[in-house]
Every structure is written in structure tokens, then in C-alpha cells.
Structure 1
Amino acid sequence: MFRVFLFLFGLHLALSAREPKQITVQNQGTISGMYITRFRTKRVAAYLGIPYAQPPVETRRFAPPEYNDLPTWEGVRNATTYAPDCMQSDIKKDDNVQNTLSRHDELFMKLLETQLDEPKKKEFSEDCLYLNVYVPDEIKVEGYPVMVWFHGGSFVRGSPNDMNPFQIVLKQKVIFVSVAYRLNIFGFFSTLDNEVPGNFGLLDQVASLVWVKNNIEKFGGDTENVCIFGHDAGAVSVGLHILSSYSAGLFAKAISMSGNVLAPDTVSIARTEMSTVDKVASAFSCFRKPTFQLLDCLRRVNFQALLDIGEPLNEWKPIVDAGFSNVSSPFLPEIPSKMFNEDMFVPVPVLAGYTNMEDALLLNKDDAEDAGISQREFDLMREEVILSDITIENGSCFTNQHHIQDAVAFFYKPIPPTTNETVLRKQFLDFYTDKVHGATTYQLAKHLGKHAPVYLYRFDLKPFSDIANEGIPSWIGVPHNFDLIFTFGLPYLAAPSDFNKWDYRDKSVSEIIMKMWTNFAWYSHPTNSGVIIDWEPFEIEKPGYLIIDRQNFTMSTTENMNYRAFEFWTDFYPKVVAIGTKCCREVLDDSGADSIISQCAKQTLLTWLFILVLLS
């Protein structure tokens, strides 16, 4: 009885402490954190704004992160405030017309702001390589699993501080680490050589994982059970870490949400970035060559000017950096599809998926509730998407491009024919979602599933609460971002004035989703504990997705998942593109014995025969 009294007395003292225990970080110093509380009795420990690399300023601008010699401090560092976000355009400025958010981002950020008692003040800095660690407020002998979060934002914006992990950490007993990494021109500019090889934002993420590996045990985490976790660009980052030798051994499993490394235009190649280097040099009146002088010039540019002038010059993203440096190995030696085809990756358990209407809000014209698209709009948008896949190297290939377009049009034409604009809108969304999200997730699973368990999902469950659907037309299911409502337990994080605006069903669903995602972090299996749902791993012979909808959570069938479309995009379509553009790549014989026109005519005939055979 006396032992029970001592235990309860000790527990009371622990809960009454005003701040969590201090942590000594390896080769840096001691930090003190804070408790984040809700309803007085519920709390988690938070250690905010911890530097994981030297500030990437001055001579460290456009250089890999320096983390062998970490920032140090005397005494106890106060880790109770967020560090500034990495440099990016402030979308809230009235004059920032060029960097307006997409509709799904705008609505989701508005929803997140309703969760706050008062709006957060946004601060940006070039000195931004910091992370946050959130820890359950419990004594536990065994190590907690660690979930490392890479935020989204298309590699040009975003913050590790936007998503509140309180509910995940409190209820699911995991350690959550959110990471800032360099963005836009600061994180992804490359001179295509040894001076500025690029991919610095991804190398920042690697540095953060090294920090986690070295320190998370002191917070109660298990260094052998680290799950990297991302959405949008963060999900693409997850895929790139699976491929890169730099990240091998730094994590044990991965969650990829609404972003895929195999999606079109995910990474750049050197040939397409040559003009970008010229544009940057010209924009800042720097000598283009030699590149060490260009680098010296750019390092002297004011950071705000570098952002304001430099960000609009390119669609900044990761690049295939093979051959850029003779002193270090590339982060990404080949395009992702080739690396997966050649098994150049480290297999780990993966959970991956997407929502049923990722891009629907981009089609929502003038906020009209029932606006559809015409047949002409359908055809033009579809053709534009396909045209981006075709490299035009010779004008005589024009006819062959039409054959490629015709193959896609044949597969996606409405049967029976219709002029109903809402039907055509649905048809276009199916086409785009299948191509960009469904097929790439399917292909990723086919590669990874041979070596490790892969769990796929499609999120069809639209929130029941009006507060979550504000501004979203009724015909739209789950747009980009809105699955995060359930992943992070937003219904439980509402401000007191909004708490009753969340439907109890959304709270129940959120509990299930958080449990499955953290089950995966704990056990590499999403339904291992506390969930009575049958979620089968993906197999080539049985390619199942968990369909998360309002009726039930069930494995996919041919009735609710278009596997034929996935095979079309992953198997048939690449062959059509290859054969349809082959004449563009053929080099003429100097003798002129066979003209390019006759070659393309033959190729056109072969293309049509090929298409007819495959579609028959």
C-alpha cells in the first residue's frame, strides 16, 4: 500500500511540474522545453527550435548543410519558441499577387487558423535549419517510435509549425519531429557542377535524420524505429530518401501522403536547367562563368532580394545531380523511375495513398457550385496534360503526337457519348487522378512490394462537419490536404468556441486514422492493434487499396478501383509514347537514302497497328 502511495505521489509531482526534464543534446548543449496543455490534465512535452545544422548563411549559402560541427551554447537553451520558417514568399501580403495559394491550400490554411486562439505571426529567415520534438508526457521503459515530418508546399513554401501533432503524441504515444528545410532558390538552385550541385533542401532533411539518430534516444525515442512521414512535397521527399544512398540506415519505414516520387515532373534534369543558371546570373548582374565567381556574386546578394527576384525564375524542385561533383556522390544519380526499375533503392515498409479528388478545386470555376466543363474544355485540358509528357525534337513528329493523344482519348471517352458537363468534369478528374496519383502509387507499390510490405489507401471520406467543408462545393469529395484533418486529429484541436462545430463522426474517424498511421510507426502494420479493420498489404496478384469512405473501410475491388487505368498508364501508355516519338530521336543518314518524312510515315503506320493490337 505504501508503495502505491509513493507511486501516486511521484506521479502527482511529475504532472505538477511546470516544465519537462532538460535534455543534453550531443555536442551542442542542454535544452529546456515546455508543456503544451489542453483541458489542464492533458499535455505533451515540446522542445522547439532546436538547431540541427549550422545556419546556411554567407559562405554556407548554396552549400550542403554543415552538421559535423553543430551550433553550441553555454548554459541551458530555452527551446520553447518556434524558429522562423525558411525563406519563402509571404502569401498573406496584399501585394503578393504572383504567389497566391492554390484554392485547396487557401481553404486548408483558413481551416487551420480556426484552430488557433490567435493567428500565428509568420517570420522568415535564411537561418532556418531547426526542428521541433514533441514527446508523450509519460515514463516508459521501452523507446517510443519516432515520426519525422517533412512538410509540403511544392518545395517553394511551407512550415514545420503549421500542423499541430498534440493529439497524435498524446493519444498514440509516439515522438513527433517536424523539420524545416531550405526551399525554392535557397534549397534547389544548382549551377550543374561542383560549385553548386543543388538538392540542398533534401540534404537538410538528411542532416535532420542524422540529428534524430544521434539524439532521439535521450527524449525516450527508439533510434531503430524511425518513420519518415510527409505530405505533398514532403511525400516526394520520402520517396527520394528511399532512393538515395545518403539516407540509407537513417529510417526504418515511410509514410507518403498525396505526393509521389514517380509522378510526372517530380524532378528536374540538367538539360532543362541550363537556361535557369543563365537567368539567375542575368537577374543579379553576375558573371555566368567561371561558376565560382557566379557563386561568390550570389552569396553577396541580400537574402530578401534573392527571394523576391530569384524565386519566380524557375519551378524549384529536386534535380538528378549525377556528374555534378567530383568530390561527393550524387544525392539522386538517375531519374526515380529508372532507379526503381533497376532496384536501386533501400526497401522499407511503406504506407502510401491519395485522396479521391486531389485536384478537384483547381477545376472549380468562379466558385460555382455546379459548373462543369464542356467537351472542348475536356479535350484541351487532356491534350495539354499529355503534351507535357512528349519531348518535341522535330516538327515532323506532330502527327505521331496526335496518335498518342488519340490513344488516351479512346481510353477515357465517355460511353455512351454525352454532352453533360458535370459528367465530363467527373471524367476529366478521373483521368487526371488516375494518371498523376493512382497509377504512380500503384507503380510504387509494384516496385517496393517485392521486397517489403506496402499498404495503400485512397481517402474518399469527406468530413461531416460544416466547418471543414466551408468553401468546398458539394460535388467535390476529398480535395488535396483535407485528409490531414483526420491524420492530425483536427476535430480535437479546435478552439473552445469552435469545439462543438465538429461532428462527433469526424472525431471518431480521426481516432481510427491516427491509430492506423501510428500503428504503422509502431509495428509496420496499420491495423496491428486497437483497430478492427482488414487492411491487406499490396501484392502483384492482389493489388489492394484500403478505401476509406463514409460507409466503411474496405479493401478495393474492380467496382471501386480502376486497375485497368493503372495498367494503361504504367504499361501501355509508356509504350505508345515511346513508339509514337521514336522518329523524333532518329538521326538521318548522311546519304539521304531514307528521308525523315518517310521514316515517320512508316513509324506512324506501326504506331497505329501497335495501338489497335493493344486496345483490341
Structure 2
Amino acid sequence: MKTTMSRKVKLAAALALLPASLLVNQAAASQPAAASGLVVRTDAGQVRGKTTATTEIFNGIPYAAPPVHALRWKPPQAVTPWTGVRDATKLSSVCPQGDNPEAPGGSTNEDCLYLNVTRPAQQTSKPRAVVVWIPGGGFFSGAGSSYEASKMAARGNVVVVTVNYRLGIFGFFGYPGLAASGTYGIQDQQAALRWVQRNARAFGGDPRNVTVAGESAGGMSVCAQLTSPTSTGLFSKAVMQSGSCAFNWADNSQYPGQAADSPWISQSTVQQNGKEWAADNAAKLGCKPGQAVLDCLRAADPAVLVEDTLNFTQVAYGGTAVLPLSPAKAMKAGLFHRVPVLSGNNHDEASAWLTAFNGGVLTDADYPRLVTDMVGAADARKVLKEYPLAKYGSAAAAWTVVTTDRIWSCTQVATDQRAARKVPVYAYEFADKHSPISQPGQGAAHATELPYLFNLGGYELPLTATQKRLSEQMIDYWTAFARTGNPNGPERPHWAPASKKAITGLSLAPTDQGGIKKVNLQTEHHCDFWAGLGD
């Protein structure tokens, strides 16, 4: 079976990137809510939520049946209706995943297909736009419950829905004969979007005005939905943060020993991987002689499956109506839903992975070696000329810029270029180097924009006066886009859509770091160079 070691290295490194603030998520979830008379009728039954000073919140609403026993590795099924009023004041379990800051101790609870709805407390007669948030986490960790959405909902006058979906081996496993191999997590997201179509009006939302949004693996999921025929009509706008259709990585670029790859994998490959994995682990799984393999796998202890969840963290394409083509190929061919797009990265995205390379301590001699390991000797000369060490002051700084541009920024720009041929694209770069979740010296690293949009783990992290203003402007941009398809409005700089030839957008920083200003992302990140490398 294809290597597992690089993915286990990936897990250890990635968990170190998650905001420490998310550690409080479980504590926040365990706090009892005050009794409330706030009741809404969904298509499966009534739910009782809770109120805050600015919002009304409904947590832990099931959008699909628990995918357990015979429903493990099957497309999401309908919820069984309930009688009476269901308590929607507490957060649900996260989906099965290993120990990480969002799920201390991990989780083995497969009964996890729930969503959370936050709406402004202020009443209105006009239906509000709906933002559906898909969390990141490498397709092996994360939860919608980590993103408390009160400030986005209240300030932006939108309904926000945050979603759990199956992860890792539970969401992206494949095996011969499983028609939906490698797509269960993507189908869960679509089931949540269909729930929104059926129930948005009950919460004051407009099912005709839905934006699907996400960050990291959530942004890649948005791309999957943009290119999926089975998501037709489920949303009218898309937001991709630090994740895109063209996302991929080169050899040894995120972690030493890691092979070049992307989030997308052919269904035949994931099925073959699953077949080999099952054969190698039959004894551990408790399979009996003569027992059908899938029967054994569906009866296996989820705690045993979680141990190997990192073997299945790519989304399958081909052989399925969900993703007939890889999202990268579909976007390149123009086969995507014609909806406005808001898309961007963080300025120092790859700095969060620096510690994977000798703990982040690099010498001048390390820099050309790392570049050579990434692109080969012939192209290394070109990269070192384009990114001379002397320009950046240290090997660590130079390597961060190279890998940010190659892995993150230019793959996002490539997706933006393809989308801009057909739809409005609003490109950005988050550039606040002192986010409350930034690590020392890492600047505007991966995920550091999130506390400007959400209360992570249910807590509002401290922002300076200028950062708070940036947060307000970002929420205003994002929610204006959700309402109208155009992020512009009063009291913030104009944001022009990118052209088909040059991906220009906004650099988002507080006023004491230069403020919000226009930036040519294609030029800043040397994207024409990377597009031509190897020619």
C-alpha cells in the first residue's frame, strides 16, 4: 500500500499548527445553557435554541442519520423525525479523529453529522443570506463546533451554519464495490447544503442566497463543491480560504520525505489502497475466516479504525457522479458552477510548516539543499536565482517564501485565473503578522485569519484596536459578498474583481501595518515563474 509514514509525519506537524485557543472548545461545549423558549420547526422536528446578547443559536441539529453499523461508508441517509422539542443548546460530538487541540483525547463517536445555526437576534421581515461554513483540518480533523459565529452573524446580518462531516478513514475510505468510495465526507457536506435548502426559511434565511465557505481543507471542499455536478443549485456564491482546486505540493516541500501529491486521488487508487489496507489489517480488525471483508470493516471498532485514519485523507474522483474529474482538471476545463468567488491566502502561509525542517533552525547551507530536494538540481538553480538568499536575510525566511509561493499562493492564483474567465473573482491576502494565534516569528501563517471572522472554540480572542477594526472590515467584506456577490460597501477600501490576466486583490492588514491596500498577488508571489518552471 502507498506510504503511510509521510502522512503520520504530516499529522504530528499539522496538529502543532492548530490554534491553541481551540483547546477551550470542549470546555465551552460543556457549559450548560439557560432554558429558553426559542423554538423553530425543522423538516424533521422542532428544536429549542438559546439566545445571546446579539444572536440566537441552535446547536447540534442532525442533518443526516448517524453513519454507523450498516451505514458506515454509505452516502448520508435521511434523519429519522422526532416528536416533541429537541434540545439544541449544546454542541454535538466531533467526528472521529485522533487527539488534537480541537478534539482533546480524540473521538470515536460516529454519530456526528450535525450542524449549528447562528442568526441575528434582531428580527427582520426579509430573509437573510446564509453562509455555510466547512471547517478545515486536513480532511482528518476539525469540527464545525470550533467556529462560534456570533460576530459574523450579528455584524453581517446573515445566518451562519457550521457543519461537521466525516473525516479520514470514515469519510474518504475506498474499497472495490463501494460506489461512493472516497467521497463520503463531500457527500455529507452536500447533505448539509440540502438541509439548508429545506430549512433555511425556518431560521429566517434565504435558500436562494446561500454561500458555501471554508478554510484549508474546507476551502478545498468548497472547490470540490464548485466542480461537483451533484451540488448543482445548492449555493450561489463560494469562498475559498487557503485552499483551492489547484492546490498541490512538490517533493519534500511541506515535510522531509514527503512525495509530491494533491488532495485529489483517483477512485480506483483509493479502492486499491483500501483493499490492501484491509488485507494487511484483517487480524487487527477482528475479521473472521470466510467473513465478507466489508461486513468485517463495518463491524470494526471505530477506535481501531481511527488509528489508521491518516491513510485516507484525499478526496476521490472518477467513477462517481460526485466528482467525475479531479477538481483541478474540472476547473481548468471550465467545468464549474457559475457563481461569484472570494478567494485568498495568508501572506506567510507556509511558515507554519517550518518546524518540520530541523525544528525550523536552518543554516545558509540548508537552503540550496532544501530547494534541490524539492525541484531537482536543474530547476534549483532557477529557484535560487529567483529567490536569492541575500534578499531574505535567513535560510528560514527564504524557504518560507519559496514554499508559501509554490504550494499555497500560486495554486490559489491558478484557480482564481481559471474562475475569472467565467465569474467575478475577489482575491485577497491576509497580512496581519500579529494575529492572536500567530506563533513567534511566523507572521501571517496558515489559519491566522480565523479569529477575525469567528470566536474560536467559543471565545473571542483579544484584538488590538486596529485589529478589531480589521476584523470588522473583513466581516463586512465577507458578508456583503454573501448577500450580494460583491464585497464592497461603506467604510472600507474598494475591492475590485480580478481580471482574467492579472490576479490583483486586497492585502488585508491593520492600519499600523500598512492597512488594506491593493496587491498584485500574481507578481508578489512569482506565480508566472512557478507556472513556467521546468519549461
TM exceeding 0.5 = yes
Amino acid at match of 2:408: H
Match of 1:8 in 2: none
Alignment partner, residue 75 of structure 1: 84
- Cα deviation, residue 521, structure 1: 0.6
Where in structure 2 are the equivalents of 1:512-527 lying within 5 Å?
512-527=473-488
Query: Which amino acid is the alignment partner of residue 54 of structure 2?
Result: R
Contact (CA 8 Å) 1:535, 1:554: kept in 2 or not?
Answer: no
Distance 2:392 2:429 in 1: 25
> Which residue, 254, 276, 279 being the options, matches 2:277?
279
Report the alpha carbon displacement of residue 64 of structure 1 after superposing the two structures with TM. 0.7
Question: How well do the aligned residues superpose, as a CA RMSD in angstroms?
Answer: 3.0
Which among 337, 362, 378 is matched to residue 406 of structure 1? 378
Q: Cα gap change, 1:526/1:367 in structure 2, threshold over 3 Å: closer, same or farther? A: farther
CA offsets 1:171-217 (integer angstroms, 9 cap, x no match) = 22110101110001011000144455231011000000000000111
| Residue aligning to 1:488 | 454
2:508 corresponding residue in structure 1: 548
Equivalent-residue separation in structure 2 for 1:311 and 1:493 (angstroms)? 29
Q: Comparing 217-226 with 485-494, which one deviates more in the overlay?
A: 485-494
| CA deviation after TM superposition for structure 1 residue 260, in Å | 1.6
Q: Deviations over 1:322-362 (max 9, x none)?
A: 23xxxxx4311122222122221112101010011112132
Per the TM alignment, residue 447 of structure 1 is displaced from its structure 2 partner at its CA by 1.2
Equivalent residue runs for 1:317-332 within 5 Å: 317-320=314-317, 322-323=318-319, 329-332=320-323
8 Å CA contact 1:85, 1:125 repeated in 2? yes
Task: Write the deviation string for residues 483-531 of structure 1: whole angstroms up to 9, x where unpaired.
Answer: 1121226799548xxxxx542111111111111111111111111x233
Q: Describe the superposition over 1:125-168 as per-residue Cα deviations: whole angstroms up to 9, x where unpaired.
A: 11111111111112111111100010110000101111211111
- Picking from 361, 378, 381, the partner of 2:367 is 378
In the other structure, the counterpart of 2:433 is: 462
TM-score (norm 2): 0.83
1:45 aligns with 2:17: no
CA 1:365 to 1:294, structure 2 compared with 1: closer, same or farther past 3 Å? closer
- Normalised TM-score (structure 1): 0.73
SS in 2 for 1:359: helix
What's the offset of the Cα at 1:292? 9.5
Q: Could you say which residue in structure 1 is the equivalent of 2:49?
A: 33
1:229-378 mapped onto 2 (5 Å cutoff): 229-264=213-248, 265-270=262-267, 272-273=269-270, 274-285=272-283, 293-308=292-307, 310-312=308-310, 314-320=311-317, 322-323=318-319, 329-364=320-355, 373-378=362-367
* Number of equivalenced pairs: 484
Distance 1:537 1:149 in 2: 23
Shift of 1:229: 0.8
Write the deviation string for residues 558-579 of structure 1: whole angstroms up to 9, x where unpaired.
xx76268212333x23xx3xxx
Match of 2:39 in 1: 22
1:105 alignment counterpart: none
Distance (whole Å) between structure 2 residues aligned to residue 186 and residue 254 of structure 1: 26
> Which gives a bigger RCO, structure 1 or 2 (Cα 8 Å, sep 6+)?
2
Distance 1:535 1:48, change over 3 A: same
- SS of aligned partner of 1:161: helix
Kept in 1: contact 2:242–2:412 (CA 8 A):
no
Contact 1:229 1:255 (8 Å CA) reproduced: yes
Report how far residue 259 of structure 1 moved. 1.3
Equivalence map 1:173-192=2 (5 Å): 173-192=157-176
How far apart, CA to CA, are the structure 2 residues paired with 1:348 and 1:291? Answer: 51
Alpha-carbon distance in 2 for matches of 1:514, 1:294: 49
* 8 A contact 2:387–2:402 mirrored in 1: no
**Corresponding letter in the other structure for 1:539:** S
Q: Which has more radius of gyration?
A: 1
The structural deviation recorded for 1:248 is: 1.1
Aligned residue for 1:538, secondary structure, equals coil
CA contact (8 A) 1:491 1:507 kept: no
Shift of 1:46: 0.9
One-letter amino acid of the counterpart of residue 234, structure 1: G
Match of 2:26 in 1: none
Alpha carbons of structure 1 residues 455 and 121: separation in structure 2 relative to 1, 3 Å: same
SS at match of 1:514: helix
CA contact under 8 A between 2:48 and 2:89: conserved in structure 1?
yes
Q: How does 1:413-432 map to 2 (within 5 A)?
A: 413=385, 418=390, 422-432=393-403
Cα deviation per residue 1:350-398 (whole Å; 9 max; x = unaligned)?
A: 1010011112132248998xx7523442233323433xxxxxxxxxxxx
Amino acid at match of 2:443: G
- Distance (Å, rounded) in 1 between the aligned partners of 2:417 and 2:95: 35
Is the CA contact (8 Å cut-off) linking 1:372 and 1:421 kept in structure 2? no
User: In the aligned structure 2, how far is the partner of 1:122 from the partner of 1:316?
Assistant: 17
Distance in 1 between residues matched to 2:434 and 2:392, nearest whole Å: 26
Q: In 1, Cα distance between the equivalents of 2:176 and 2:524?
A: 40
SS of 1:125's partner is coil
Residue segments in structure 2 that go unaligned for 5+ positions in a row = 1-33, 249-261
Map 1:195-234 to 2 at 5 A: 197-234=181-218
CA contact 1:168–1:489 (8 Å) conserved in 2: no
Q: Is there any run of 5+ residues in structure 1 with no aligned partner, and where?
A: 1-16, 93-108, 110-118, 324-328, 387-401, 496-500, 577-610, 612-616
Where does 1:559-574 land on structure 2 (aligned, <5 Å)? 562=523, 565-570=526-531, 572-573=532-533
* Residue aligned with 1:146, SS: strand
